[in-house]
Structure 1
Amino acid sequence: MKQHYKIATVVVAGITGTGSLGVSIAQAAPVQAPAVHGPAVPAGGPDFYAKGKVISHSRLAIRAKPTRNSTRYGWLLPGEIVDIKCWARGQSVQGNRRWYRLGISTPEWVAGKYIKIVKGKVEHC
């Protein structure tokens, strides 16, 4: 009968975290998180893209393609700051053929004539 008692004590000791050394789980060395290398903000974060300011006097159309005839998705307001992903040549707007692709997942474009780059450098698409 004493044999069963000893086995039960060992099983209970293992379940509660005390092993043969008598060290509980709480007393064991803490597990450290893996080291993180690289920037704290992942790619595509708030500071990843260049910033542009809308310099038009009225709202600026957001287009599906770098043309004035393409589908309009919405508007930007004067003074608004936007993420700029890249630029491409498109339809001329008052002599300016540069269009900026907004830094979002879908291809949306605004006429470069009405955007002033205020931070970063914009690469060609």
Structure 2
Amino acid sequence: MRLRSPLTRGLARVLATAAASGALITALAAAPATATTAAAPHGGDGPGRYRGVVTAIGGLWLHDRPGRDSRRIGFAQQGQIVSIYCQYPGGPVNGNRLWYLLGDRTWAWGSARYIRLLGPTPRWC
């Protein structure tokens, strides 16, 4: 017969709580990578907090990393309004090194050279 002291039961409870908390924190930390594509209202904390309009004549290729040498994964039409999640310095495009991580339908990078902001400047990634 195995006896468990109140100290042992308390320690087991603390460890279980810590493990559950750690799993929750890990899930929350991964949220941007697995976020849904629904945009939050302007001013919220979701992908729709910042917005811009594509100014590139003929449209803008969207990339999987912030640089023109990365893989093209999407396209945005000239005049299209896009949701911006954050900004990040990347490969230069006509002298502009700033790229925006777009959170519309898929997470993709667009050059800030061809996206005019509609409102506040996005936070840094």
Aligned to 2:111: 111
Letter of the structure 1 residue corresponding to residue 64 of structure 2: A
Q: 29, 32, 40: which one pairs with 1:45?
A: 40
Aligned to 1:81: 81
**Aligned-partner Cα distance in 2 for 1:87–1:65:** 12
Aligned to 1:98: 98
**Aligned-partner Cα distance in 2 for 1:80–1:121:** 18
More helix by share: 2
Any conservation in 2 of the 1:61–1:75 contact (CA below 8 Å)? yes
SS at match of 1:57: coil
Distance 1:96 1:119, change over 3 A: same
**Aligned-partner Cα distance in 1 for 2:100–2:75:** 14
Letter of the structure 1 residue corresponding to residue 100 of structure 2: Y
**Aligned-partner Cα distance in 1 for 2:103–2:120:** 13
Letter of the structure 1 residue corresponding to residue 119 of structure 2: K
- After TM superposition, the structure 1 = structure 2 runs for residues 50-69 of structure 1, keeping only pairs within 5 Å, are 50-69=50-69
- Distance apart, 1:89 and its partner CA: 0.3
Larger radius of gyration between Structure 1 and Structure 2: 1
Aligned to 1:3: none
After TM superposition, the score normalised by the length of structure 2 is 0.60
After TM superposition, the score normalised by the length of structure 1 is 0.60
Aligned to 1:29: none
Deviations 1:51-100 (A, max 9, x none): 10001111100100001011111100000000001000000000000000
Any conservation in 2 of the 1:65–1:107 contact (CA below 8 Å)? no
Aligned length: 83
Any conservation in 1 of the 2:74–2:108 contact (CA below 8 Å)? no
- Between the two proteins, what is the percent identity of the paired residues? 35
**Aligned-partner Cα distance in 1 for 2:39–2:83:** 10
**Aligned-partner Cα distance in 2 for 1:60–1:106:** 15
Structure 2 alignment gaps of length 5 or more: 1-37
Distance 1:57 1:104, change over 3 A: closer
SS at match of 1:113: helix
